[in-house]
């Protein structure tokens, strides 16, 4: 009846709207009411058992016609008959209680040890975390410092490279201006041309004075500006050889006519060097002949050649 009344009261309280903040208090109150209802139900059951037991005792006493003393004696005998069972149960319960206490103490010790070990692990973890954070922060600071130094060094090197390029550009500009002004000086240019022509003229007469020295011989005509390269000299020799062969072929066909003309004429024969391109031979007073001098260089006596 009380349980039904509590349920009805709870239902009546739940009819209206409940504020959101009161749900926790209401749940606690409902839990307390249910616990009290359960205890009351247990008490009622125990009371009913006691009342039913008293009813059985009274009925048995009424049936046997026992008085109070006889009833107490019978109950005492019954209780004494159950005493060994109670002692065994008490022993078992005591032993179970001791084991439970020992288990409780062992569990408490184990739990304390676990808490101590876990606390040490937590402390070590905090120390490691603090050290790790400190090391990472120091590494980041060092890395940023090194990066700043490297950037500063790169900037300094880049500035130096720009300065070197600027100086080189200025030096090249000055050098170009100097060469331009140096080449534009007509007096200096004419002097260089005259010196080059004089050197070539001097070498020309040296070769005439020393015909026995070959032009290809090393050590005598080295560093001569009027000497052509070996390939050009070989080509000129081939051209002269071809011209000489053609001239010899033409002379062989007209040898008889030239012999007749030479007997009737008193003049000198036509020189062959003109066909080859050299200087005509000159006869001396004794009737001998001298060797043909080498060809005069094309730049000899010129003032406008760019020999340098």
Say what the pLDDT of residue 220 is. Answer: 60
The answer, yes or no, to whether residue 127 has pLDDT greater than 90, is: yes
d(CA 36, CA 74): 38
The answer, yes or no, to whether residue 254 has pLDDT greater than 80, is: no
Number of domains in the chain: 1
For residue 260, tell me if it sits in a domain. no
The answer, yes or no, to whether residue 169 has pLDDT greater than 90, is: yes
For residue 42, tell me if it sits in a domain. yes
d(CA 240, CA 276): 6
For residue 279, tell me if it sits in a domain. no
The answer, yes or no, to whether residue 5 has pLDDT greater than 90, is: no
Q: Which residue has the higher pLDDT, 83 or 129?
A: 129
For residue 143, tell me if it sits in a domain. no
For residue 145, tell me if it sits in a domain. no
Containing structural domain, residue 24: 1-65
- Alpha helix segments (H runs only) across 185-229: 186-209
Query: What is the pLDDT of the chain when averaged over all its residues?
Result: 74
Say what the pLDDT of residue 14 is. Answer: 47
Span 133-140, mean pLDDT? 95
For residue 188, tell me if it sits in a domain. no
Outline where DSSP puts E strands in 258-308.
none
For residue 34, tell me if it sits in a domain. yes
Residue 36 pLDDT level (bands cut at 50, 70, 90): confident
Helix (H, G, I), strand (E, B) or coil at 302: coil
For residue 2, tell me if it sits in a domain. yes
Close Cβ partners of 57 (under 8 Å, ≥ 6 residues apart): 71, 75
Q: Terminal CA-to-CA distance of the chain, rounded, Å?
A: 138
């Amino acid at each position: 009846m009380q349980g039904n009344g509590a349920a009805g009261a709870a239902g009546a309280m739940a009819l209206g709207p409940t504020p959101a903040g009161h749900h926790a208090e209401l749940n606690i109150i409902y839990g307390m009411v249910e616990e009290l209802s359960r205890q009351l139900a247990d008490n009622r059951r125990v009371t009913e058992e006691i009342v039913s037991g008293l009813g059985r005792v009274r009925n048995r006493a009424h049936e046997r016609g026992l008085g109070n003393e006889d009833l107490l004696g019978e109950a005492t005998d019954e209780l004494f008959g159950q005493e060994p069972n109670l002692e065994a149960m008490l022993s078992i319960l005591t032993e179970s209680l001791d084991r439970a206490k020992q288990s409780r103490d062992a569990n408490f010790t184990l739990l304390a040890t676990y808490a101590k070990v876990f606390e040490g692990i937590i402390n070590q973890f905090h120390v490691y975390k603090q050290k790790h954070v400190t090391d990472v922060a120091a590494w980041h600071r060092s890395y940023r410092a090194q990066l700043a130094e490297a950037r500063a060094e790169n900037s300094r090197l880049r500035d130096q490279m720009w300065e070197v390029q600027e100086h080189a550009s200025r030096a090249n500009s000055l050098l170009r201006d100097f060469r331009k002004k140096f080449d534009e000086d007509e007096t200096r240019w004419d002097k260089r041309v005259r010196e080059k022509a004089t050197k070539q003229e001097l070498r020309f007469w040296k070769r005439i004075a020393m015909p026995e020295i070959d032009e290809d011989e090393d050590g005598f005509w080295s560093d001569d500006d009027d000497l052509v390269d070996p390939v050009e000299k070989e080509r000129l020799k081939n051209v002269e050889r071809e011209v000489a062969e053609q001239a010899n072929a033409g002379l062989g066909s007209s040898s008889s006519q030239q012999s007749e003309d030479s007997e009737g004429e008193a003049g000198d024969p036509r020189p062959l060097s003109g066909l080859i391109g050299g200087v005509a031979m000159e006869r001396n007073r004794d009737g001998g002949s001298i060797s043909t001098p080498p060809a005069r260089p094309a730049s000899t006596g010129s003032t406008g050649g760019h020999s340098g």
